[in-house]
Amino acid sequence: VPDAASLIQQLRALVDDAGFLTDPGRTAPMLRDHRAQYRGHALAVVAPADTAAVSRVLAFCNEHRIGVVPQGGNTGYCGGATPDASSSQLLLSLERLDRVRAIDSANYTITAEAGCILAKLQSAAADADLYLPLSLGAEGSCMLGGNLSTNAGGLNVIRYGMARELVLGLEVVLPDGRVLDVLTGLRKDNTGYDIKSLFLGAEGTLGVITAACLKLYPALRSRATAFVAVRDPAAAVALLTALRGASGDCVSSFELIPRVAVELTSQHIPGVVDPLSAPSAWYVLCEISSSRPDEPLDALLEKTLAAAFDGGLVSDAAVAIDERQRELFWRLRESIPESQRKEGANIKHDISVPVSQVPRFIDVAGRWVEQHIPQGVLCAYGHLGDGNLHFNVNQRAGFTAAQLQAIEPKAKRAIHDFVKEFGGSFSAEHGIGQLKVFELERYANPLELELMQRVKHAFDPNGIMNPGKVLRRP
Instruction: Count the residues of the shown chain that bind ligand FAD, applying the rule CB under 6 A.
Output: 37
Binding flag, residue 348, ligand FAD (CB under 6 A): no
- Smallest distance from ligand MLT to CB 137, Å: 5
Which of ligand MLT, ligand FAD, none interacts with 149 (beta carbon under 5 to 8 A by kind)?
A: ligand FAD
- Smallest distance from ligand FAD to CB 39, Å: 15
Whose CB is nearest to ligand MLT? 337
For residue 200, give the 3-state DSSP assignment: coil
Region of 316-324, 370-378, 426-434, 450-458 interacting with ligand FAD (CB under 6 A) = 426-434
Which of ligand FAD, ligand MLT, none interacts with 185 (beta carbon under 5 to 8 A by kind)?
A: none
- Of residues 48 through 107, those in contact with ligand MLT by CB under 6 A are none
User: In sequence order, what are the residues at sequence separation of 6 or more whose Cβ sits closer than 8 angstroms to the Cβ of residue 456?
Assistant: 205, 206, 463, 471
- Of residues 87 through 146, those in contact with ligand FAD by CB under 6 A are 94, 114, 136-138, 142-143, 145-146
Binding flag, residue 70, ligand FAD (CB under 6 A): yes
Distances (CA, A) of 210 to 77, 84, 205, 247, 382: 21, 23, 14, 39, 30
**Pairing between strand 222-230 and 346-347?**
unpaired
Binding flag, residue 389, ligand FAD (CB under 6 A): no
Beta carbons of 103 and 119 less than 8 angstroms apart: no
- Of residues 303 through 342, those in contact with ligand MLT by CB under 6 A are 336-337
Beta carbons of 128 and 219 less than 8 angstroms apart: no
Q: Which is nearer to ligand FAD, 142 or 320 (CB)?
A: 142
Binding flag, residue 40, ligand FAD (CB under 6 A): no
Which of ligand FAD, ligand MLT, none interacts with 284 (beta carbon under 5 to 8 A by kind)?
A: none
- DSSP tag of 21: E
Beta carbons of 91 and 113 less than 8 angstroms apart: no
Beta carbons of 133 and 159 less than 8 angstroms apart: yes
For residues 232 and 226, give the distance between their C-alpha atoms in angstroms, rounded to a whole number.
Answer: 17
Dihedral of CA atoms 446, 447, 453, 457 in degrees, nearest 10, equals: 160
Instruction: Count the residues of the shown chain that bind ligand MLT, applying the rule CB under 6 A.
Output: 6
For residues 155 and 144, give the distance between their C-alpha atoms in angstroms, rounded to a whole number.
Answer: 16
- Smallest distance from ligand MLT to CB 343, Å: 13
Q: Which is nearer to ligand MLT, 196 or 390 (CB)?
A: 390
Helix axes 233-246, 297-310, angle to 10 degrees: 140
- Smallest distance from ligand MLT to CB 390, Å: 4
- Smallest distance from ligand MLT to CB 348, Å: 6
For residues 327 and 122, give the distance between their C-alpha atoms in angstroms, rounded to a whole number.
Answer: 16
Q: Which is nearer to ligand FAD, 231 or 383 (CB)?
A: 383
User: x/- site string to ligand MLT, residues 362 to 401, per CB under 6 A?
Assistant: --------------------x-------x-----------
**Cα four-point dihedral sign 331, 333, 337, 339:** positive
395 burial level (CB within 10 Å; 0-12, 13-18, 19+): buried
Binding flag, residue 147, ligand FAD (CB under 6 A): yes
- Of residues 103 through 162, those in contact with ligand MLT by CB under 6 A are 137
Which of ligand FAD, ligand MLT, none interacts with 156 (beta carbon under 5 to 8 A by kind)?
A: none
- DSSP tag of 139: T
Beta carbons of 142 and 117 less than 8 angstroms apart: yes
Quote helix, strand, coil % in the chain, to nearest 5.
40, 25, 40
Q: Which is nearer to ligand FAD, 375 or 388 (CB)?
A: 388
Query: Which residues are at the interface with ligand MLT (CB under 6 A)?
Result: 137, 336-337, 348, 382, 390
Residues near ligand FAD (CB under 6 A) are 34, 69-77, 80-81, 94, 114, 136-138, 142-143, 145-147, 149-150, 152-154, 203-204, 208-209, 337, 429-430, 433, 466, 469
